[in-house]
A and B are shown apart, each in its own frame.
Chain A
Amino acid sequence: MTSKKTAEKNKEKDDAEDFYVEEVIDRPFSRELAGRLMRYLRPYKGLVLLSVMLILTNTALSLIGPLLIKEAVDGPLALPTEETESRELTGIGQLITDLGEGAGLSPIAVGSSIDERTQWLWVLVGIYAFTLLIQILMRYGETMVLNRTGQNVMRDLRLQIFDHLQKQSASFYHKNPVGRLVTRVTSDVEALNELFTSGFVTLVGDILAITGIVIMLFWTNAELASMVLATAPLLLISTTIFRRFARKHYREVRRRLAHLNAFTQESISGMEVIQVCRREEEQAQQYSGINGKLQDAHLKSIFWYALFFPTVELLSVVALGIIVVQGGERIEMGTATFGEFFLFWTYLTRLFTPVRDLAEKYNLLQSAMASSERIFTVLDTDTTFAEVDSKSEPATNSEQDSLDEIRFENVSFSYDGETPVLEDVSFSVKRGETLAIVGATGAGKSTIINLLLRFHDPVGGRLLVNGEDIREHSLEEHRRRFGLVLQDVSVMTRSLGENIRFDRDISRQRISEALEQVNGTEIVERQKLGLDEPMMERGRTLSSGERQLISFARALAGDPEVLVLDEATSHVDTETEAKIQEAIDRMVEGRTSVIVAHRLSTVRKADRILVLHHGHLRESGTHDELVEKGGIYARLVKLQFQSR
Chain B
Amino acid sequence: MFPFRAFRFLAPLIREQRPIFAIGVVLILLTSLSQVAVPRLVGLAIQKLESGIGVDLIGPIALAMVGAVLIRGLTSFWTRETVIASSRRIEKKLRDQLYEHISGLDGSFYSKTHTGDLMSRFTSDIEAVRMVFGPAVMYSVQTAFTLIFALSMMIQIDWQLTLYSLIPLGFLTVAIRVIGPKVHRESMRAQEMLSGISVHSQENFANAPVIKAFVVEDAEVERMQRLSHDYFRQNLRIARLRAISGSAMWLFGDLALVTLLLIGGMRILQGDLGLGDFATFNGCQLLLIWPMIALGWVMNLFHRGAASAERLQAILDAKPLVDDSRATGLTAVQKGSVEFQNVSFRYPEGEVPALENVSFDLPPGGTLGIVGVTASGKSSLLNLIPRLSPATSGLVLIDGKPIEEYPLKVLRDSISMVPQEPFLFSATIAENIAFGVGDASEEQVRAVARLVRIDQEIDKFPNGYEQRVGERGITLSGGQKQRIAIARAILQKPRILLLDDVLSAVDSETETSILEGLKDWTRDLTALIVTHRLSAVTHADEILVLDGGKVIERGTHSELLEKKGKYSELWRKQTIESELEDLE
Contacts and interface: CB of A to CB of B under 8 A. Distances in A.
A528 B351 contact: yes
Given A143-B243, A287-B99, A313-B73, A575 B215 contact: no
A606 interface: no
B427 interface: yes
Contact of B228 (A158, A170, A324, A627): A158
Contacts of A541: 111, 347, 349
5 contacts: A275-B388, A291-B95, A310-B76, A571-B374, A598-B507
A346 B485 CA distance: 71
Given A139-B247, A159-B228, A492-B207, 17 more contacts: A79-B275, A125-B262, A144-B236, A158-B197, A268-B115, A277-B412, A302-B81, A307-B77, A441-B505, A479-B212, A480-B215, A490-B207, A537-B203, A571-B504, A574-B573, A598-B507, A640-B574
Q: Which of B212, B268, B282 has the most CB of A within 10 A?
A: B212
Contacts of B361: none
Contacts of A598: 479, 504-508
Interface string B472-488: 10110111101100001
A309 B31 CA distance: 13
A65 B262 contact: no
B423 A324 contact: no
Nearest to B228: A155
B99 A264 contact: yes
Given A536-B111, A537-B115, A324 B45 contact: yes
A527 interface: yes
B10 interface: no
A276 interface: yes
Query: What 5 A-B pairs are tightest by C-beta distance, nearest first?
Result: A441-B479, A545-B374, A310-B73, A503-B219, A147-B239
B49 to A, nearest CB: 5
Contacts of B384: none
B85 A313 contact: no
A159 B232 CA distance: 12
A582 to B, nearest CB: 12
B574 A419 contact: no
Contact of A484 (B46, B92, B213, B583): B213
A163 B243 CA distance: 32
Contact of B88 (A152, A302, A527): A302
Nearest to A488: B478
Contact of B205 (A148, A178, A558): A178
Interface residues on B, range: 35 or more
Nearest to B48: A328
B570 A574 contact: yes
Contacts of A576: 373-374
Contacts of A600: 508
B247 A143 contact: yes
A584 interface: no
Nearest to B576: A641
A321 B66 contact: yes
A362 interface: no
B122 A264 contact: yes
Interface in A117-144: 117-118, 121-122, 124-125, 128-129, 132, 135-137, 139-140, 143-144
A503 B220 contact: yes
A441 B510 contact: yes
A335 interface: no
A486 B492 CA distance: 31
B216 interface: yes
Interface stretch (A89-97, A182-190, A216-224): A182-190
Interface stretch (B53-61, B149-157, B178-186, B392-400): B53-61
B80 A305 contact: yes
B449 interface: no
A19 B426 contact: yes
Nearest to B204: A166
A338 B46 contact: yes
A86 interface: no
Nearest to B383: A272
A598 B510 CA distance: 11
Most buried by B among A502, A576, A598, A641: A598
B416 A174 contact: no
A178 B199 CA distance: 11
A174 B92 CA distance: 32
Interface stretch (A68-76, A242-250, A400-408, A425-433): A68-76
Given A162-B224, A186-B194, A338 B103 contact: no
B38 interface: yes
A572 interface: yes
A609 interface: no
B243 A140 contact: yes
B69 A313 contact: yes
A398 interface: no
Contacts of B248: 136
B286 A278 contact: no
A77 B268 contact: yes
Given A182-B198, A270-B425, A341-B46, A311 B73 contact: yes
B375 interface: yes
Interface stretch (B16-24, B140-148, B300-308, B531-539): B531-539
B102 interface: yes
A332 B242 contact: no
Interface in B239-256: 239-240, 242-244, 246-248, 250-251, 254-255
A447 to B, nearest CB: 8
B13 interface: no
B215 A302 contact: no
B504 A570 contact: yes
Contact of B532 (A182, A537, A549, A573): A573
Contacts of A121: 261-262, 265-266, 269
Contacts of A627: 579, 582-583
Contact of B203 (A185, A492, A635): A492
Nearest to B377: A543
Contacts of A415: 475
Contacts of A309: 76, 80
B433 to A, nearest CB: 12
Interface in A157-176: 158-159, 162-163, 165-168, 170, 173-174
A410 interface: no
Interface stretch (B158-166, B329-337, B456-464): B456-464
Contact of A278 (B388, B409, B460): B409
Contacts of A203: none
B318 interface: no
Interface stretch (A29-37, A206-214, A233-241, A293-301): A293-301
B507 to A, nearest CB: 5
A48 interface: no
A440 B510 contact: yes
Contacts of B198: 182, 185-186
B20 to A, nearest CB: 13
A536 to B, nearest CB: 6
Q: Which of A275, A329, A415, A575 counts the most B-chain CB atoms under 10 A from its CB?
A: A275
Contact of A640 (B122, B413, B535): B535
A191 to B, nearest CB: 13
Contacts of A124: 261
Interface string B329-360: 00000000000000000010111100000000
Contact of B423 (A144, A190, A272, A487): A272
Given A441-B479, A455-B209, A575-B570, A140 B244 contact: yes
A132 B88 CA distance: 41
B242 to A, nearest CB: 6
A341 B235 CA distance: 44
Contact of A313 (B72, B110, B438): B72
Contact of A636 (B246, B250, B509, B582): B509
A298 B212 CA distance: 42
B206 interface: yes
A441 B506 contact: yes
Contacts of A503: 214, 216, 219-220, 223
B103 A273 contact: no
